[in-house]
Amino acid sequence: MTTHLVWLRNDLRINDNLALHAACRDSKAEVIALFLATPEQWQQHDISPKQTAFIHASLTAVQGALAERGIKLHYKACKAFDDSVDALVAFCDQHKVDQLFYNYQYEVNERERDANAEKRLNDAGVTCQGFDDSLLLPPGSVQSGDRSMYKVFTPFSKAFVRRLQQGLPECVPAPKAREGAPLKTTRIPAFDCPSEAFDETLFPAGEEAALKRLRHFAGKPVVDYPAQRDLPALDATSRLSVYLSTGVLSPRQCLHRILHEHPDALENGRAFTWLNELIWREFYRHLLVAYPALCRHQPFVDWTRNVEWQKNKAHFEAWKAGKTGFPIVDAAMRQMNQLGWMHNRLRMITASFLVKDLLIDWREGERYFMQQLIDGDLAANNGGWQWAASTGTDAAPYFRIFNPTTQGERFDPQGEFIRHYLPELADVPDSDIHQPHQWAEKHKKKLDYPAPIVDHKAARKKTLDAFERAKSAA
């Protein structure tokens, strides 16, 4: 009997899983699955303890779903990627695997691992098939007129939409039950790395929960999204990022569900605003393949290497802890520290504050976000940080510097979000919530809240000078 192996990684679902679907096409083949945990490598890549726990819970869910269809999920713990290739080759030999099916990952280390695995398995007589599963369109398939990767998002988005209008990527069904279904399962042991409980009401693990969340958001919320997406006090974003980053949900499922509810979404209908965020995700992943240096913490704009970053540990620790004295920044950081998730507008505000107010290297913030976020994704996180730091492709100009106070006034005018995460400001009236110390001084009140650690106007000038010197030195 022919044996097909599905190598699961960040694709923990049975619906619209291209590798799984291809492996199950032959009804006579035995299909098995394998997940290789590499906790040492994950820690080197700054995976957050909450994401580790979420992956484990999602892996348990997909194990059960596969067992219902007669597909056994095997689990092995390794240390790093080199060990995982050795384990994969040995597993294929032990189980007499004829064909390997897997979905591509696009980061540098992962691509090197997969190339090594394919070479060794091909030498051993195992046929390998890889699939562009985590994207709507494969990297390199959307190019500018000179056949290069777009460096600016808007023309990329327009070209991307034109491609989608010519033909949508197909969603494939979950496999049918195979002979011997259902199978019994054994508990998957805990990963040998830090793990931390996550809020299961906000981020319930597993494919069913992801699809339920998608169906809900694709109704009225996606239509309201353009008007409400920047207001962190509202539950107005999709919160699908954790499912996309871990592969519990595919971007094709998102696209098809939105178009099912809103057929004009690709014709600039109101639902397009959120679909465009999905295209931003594609943009950053396509860039990662076109410019592998982005995986190695290198800036896209070369002259920004010359920026003289400040090494102020006290300021960095205050930023991490949400104790900068700027309410919207502090509330946002405490939201992330508590939930492992931060509202997208607040990601921009906090990143801008670290880089443009504190003049601290964006890579420090990028790493801290990855260490905290349950939806941590290298491409999106790197792209967002380089945008905020003015070091990346299609980045905000270096002279565009958010004023954290006016950002708070604009997007949390009554301070509802701020008070939720900064209870020490509960008694400060709406009109003063964004500058509470002025209110406290005026009314002779004592606040258990730090004073601003920098003067924004002076910090802005210092940052502009630093970037201008860096550009002149190029």
DSSP 124-169: TT-EEEEE--SSSS-TTSSB-TTSSB-SSHHHHHHHHHHHHHH-PP
Q: Which of 169-173, 363-367, 378-382, 396-400 has the lowest mean pLDDT?
A: 396-400
Known binder of ligand: residue 75? Answer: no
Q: Has 309 been annotated as catalytic?
A: yes
CB atoms within 10 A of CB 365: 26
Per-residue model confidence (pLDDT) at position 140? 95
Tell whether 279 is in a known binding site: yes
**All domains of the chain, ordered by start, with CATH?**
3-133 (3.40.50.620), 135-171+207-290 (1.25.40.80), 302-473 (1.10.579.10)
Selecting among 7, 319, 341, 362, the annotated active-site residue is: 362
Q: What is the model's pTM?
A: 0.97
Q: Is residue 395 very low, low, confident or very high in pLDDT (cuts 50, 70, 90)? A: confident
Averaged pLDDT, 37-55: 96
Ligand-binding site membership of 464 (annotated): no
Taking only the tens place, the pLDDT of each residue in 157-213 is: 999 999 999 999 999 999 999 999 999 999 999 999 999 999 999 999 999 999 999
Confidence of residue 269 (pLDDT cuts 50, 70, 90): confident
280: annotated active-site residue: yes
User: 344 an active-site residue?
Assistant: yes
The reply to whether 278 sits in an annotated binding site is yes
Average pLDDT, the chain: 97
Q: What is the mean pLDDT of residues 403-413?
A: 98
Query: Is 239 assigned a ligand-binding role in the annotation?
Result: yes
Beta pairing class for 3-8 and 99-103: parallel
Annotated catalytic residue, options 385, 387, 403, 439: 385
**pLDDT surpasses 80 at 66:** yes
Q: Which of 109, 116, 196, 280 is catalytic?
A: 280
Report H helices in 292-435. Answer: 313-321, 327-339, 344-352, 362-372, 378-389, 404-411, 416-421
pLDDT recorded at residue 173: 98
d(CA 447, CA 449): 5
- What is the C-alpha to C-alpha distance for residues 320 and 76, in angstroms, rounded to an integer? 35
Does the active-site annotation cover 403?
no
Q: What is the mean pLDDT of the segment spanning 289-316?
A: 96
Annotated binding residue 354: no
Cα separations in angstroms, 39 against 36, 75, 79, 134, 190? 10, 13, 6, 22, 11
377 marked as binding residue: yes
pLDDT in tens, 413-468: 999 999 999 999 999 999 999 999 999 999 999 999 999 999 999 999 999 999 99
Which residues 6+ apart lie within 8 Å of 167 measured at CB?
none
The predicted pLDDT at position 394 comes to: 83
Least confident of 202-206, 250-254, 393-397: 393-397
Using CA atoms, how far apart are residues 290 and 292, in angstroms rounded to an integer?
6
Q: What is the pLDDT of residue 474?
A: 77
| Distance between CA atoms of residues 278 and 273, nearest Å | 9
| Mean pLDDT along residues 36-48 | 96
**439 labelled ligand-binding:** no
Q: Which of 309, 337, 409, 416 is catalytic?
A: 309
Q: 30, 207, 277, 364: which one is catalytic?
A: 277
Q: Which of 196, 344, 409, 416 is catalytic?
A: 344
| DSSP-assigned beta bridge partners for residue 33 | 6, 73
Catalytic residue status for 382:
no
The pLDDT value recorded for residue 428 is 97
What is the structure's pLDDT at 184? 97
Active site residue 387: no
Give the mean model confidence (pLDDT) for residues 63-69. Answer: 98
- CA 226 to CA 236: how far, in whole Å? 9
Q: With cut-offs at 50, 70 and 90, classify the pLDDT of residue 329.
A: very high
Find out whether 376 is annotated in a ligand binding site. yes
Measured CA distances, 380 to 55, 291, 366, 373, 377 (Å): 18, 14, 10, 12, 6
Q: Are 26 and 218 in contact (CB under 8 A)?
A: no
- Please check the confidence at residue 237 and state whether its pLDDT lies above 80: yes
Confidence band (pLDDT; 50, 70, 90) for 396? confident
Token look-up 């299609």 returns 394
Helix 251-261 and helix 272-290: axis angle, to 10°? 160
| 299 preceded by a cis bond (ω within 30 of 0) | no
